[in-house]
Amino acid sequence: MADAGIDLLRSSLDLLILKALTWGPMHGYGIGEWIDDATQSLLLVEEGTLYPALHRLERRGWITAEWGVSGNNRRAKFYTITPAGRARLRAEARRWHEYAGAIATALRRTGPALA
């Protein structure tokens, strides 16, 4: 059960990173802030876990990284979503909605199975 929980967490984190990047290139800190804000601090318990996820996504070609300068004039690594990343986001988002919808419907059921 613990593994399934981590998998679920990891795949939803990947999804949110891709979502965050649809607004434009961002550095890791910015992505973390966006996710924190968008999920009411529910998902990112440890901020550091964001980075392995970012690097994995980069390796799979869904995002790319480039060094740039942040708003407060520091050197920062900016991530950009690739076309493959956008396609992945669309597919995963749809899957997520179906899944969540199915679970929600099931939980709302009141009677036993129809024979």
Partner 1 sequence: MTIGPGWKRAFRLPRLDRKSVERDLDAELSFHLAMREETLKRLGMSADAARTDALARFGDHDRIRDECLTIDRQYARKVRLMEWLESIVTDVRYALRRLRRSPGFTVTAVVTLALGIGASTAVFSALSPVLLEPLPFPHASRLVTVDDRNEAGIPMPATLGTFAEVRARARVFETIAAADDWQPTISGTGEPERLKGQAVTASYFQVYGIAPVVGREFRGDDEQPGGARVAILSERLVQRRFGGDRAIVGRTIDLDGNPYTVVGIMPGSFANVVAPAAELWTPLRDRVTGDLSGRAWGHHYKIIGRLTATATTESATRELLALGRSPTASFARPPWANLEDGLLVRSMQDDVTAPVKPSLYAIAGAVLLLLAIASVNVMNLLLARGSQRRGELAMRIALGAGPGRIMRQLLTESVVLALLGGGLGLLVGQLGVHGLVAMSPPGLPRADAIRVDLRVLAFAVLLTTLVGLIVGLVPALGAVRGKTTDGLHRAASSRISSRSTARSVLVIAEVALAVVLLVGAGLLYRSVTRLLAAPPGFDASHVVTMQVVESGAGFTSDTARLQFFELALERVGQLPGVVSAGWTSQLPLSGDVDGYGYEAQSVAESKNGAVGSALRYEVTPGYFSAMRIPLRRGRLVDATDRAGAPEAIVINESMAKRLFGDRDPIGQGVRFGPEMGSDRPWGYVVGVVGDVKQYSLAADAPDAFYVASGQWLWVDDVQTLVVRTSGDAAAMVPSLKRTVWSIDRNLPIQRVRTMDDFVTAAAGQRRFAMVVIETFAIVAFVLAAIGLYGVVAGGVIERIREIGIRAALGATPAVIVGSVVRRSLALAAGGAVIGVGASLAATRLIRTMLFGVSSVDVVTYAGVLLLMLVTAGVAAWAPARRAAGVDPTMALRAD
The footprint of partner 1 (CB under 8 A) covers 27-29, 32, 45-49, 51-52, 55-56, 58-66, 70, 72, 74-77, 82-84
**CB-based burial, 32-47: b 16+ in 10 Å, e otherwise:** bebbeeeeeeeebeee
Residue type, 49: T
Residue 12 or 82 having the CB closest to partner 1:
82
Residue 3 or 46 having the CB closest to partner 1:
46
Residue 25 C-beta: closest distance to partner 1, Å? 13
Residue 113 C-beta: closest distance to partner 1, Å? 43
Residue 3 or 108 having the CB closest to partner 1:
3
Going across the sheet that includes 75-81, the strands are: 26-27, 75-81, 63-69
